[in-house]
Amino acid sequence: MKTLLSKLTTSDRITTMGMMWMDSIWVLDIVFKISMKFHWCLQRMVVRFASLACAAGLMLSTELVFAAVYMSPVDFVNRSFDQTPTMKTLWLKTEHQQAAKDVLGHSYPGIRLRYWQRGETTAWILDEIGKEKPITIGIVITDNKIRDVSILEFREPRGGEVRHPFFTRQFKGLFLKANRKLSQRIDGVAGATLSVRAVSNVTRYALFLHTTLLNRQNQYAHQEVR
- Do 179 and 85 lie in a common domain? yes
- Do 20 and 76 lie in a common domain? no
- Do 39 and 112 lie in a common domain? no
- Do 82 and 168 lie in a common domain? yes
Could you list the residue range(s) of the whole structural domain that residue 140 is in? 68-225
pLDDT, one tens digit for every residue, the chain (226 residues): 545 445 556 665 556 555 665 656 655 566 566 666 655 555 665 446 444 544 444 444 434 446 799 999 999 999 999 999 999 999 999 999 999 999 999 999 999 999 999 999 999 999 999 999 999 999 999 999 999 999 999 999 999 999 999 999 999 999 999 999 999 999 999 999 999 999 999 999 999 999 999 999 988 766 665 5
Sheet of 86-91: strands edge to edge? 68-69, 145-154, 134-142, 121-129, 112-118, 86-91
- Do 80 and 57 lie in a common domain? no
Rounded Cα distance, 226 and 222, in Å = 6
Q: In total, how many domains does the chain have?
A: 2
Give pLDDT, residue 225: 58
User: pTM for this one?
Assistant: 0.71
Give pLDDT, residue 206: 98
Decide: residue 164, CB within 10 A, 0-12 exposed, 13-18 middle, 19+ buried: exposed
For the chain, the first-to-last Cα distance in angstroms comes to 121
- Do 120 and 39 lie in a common domain? no
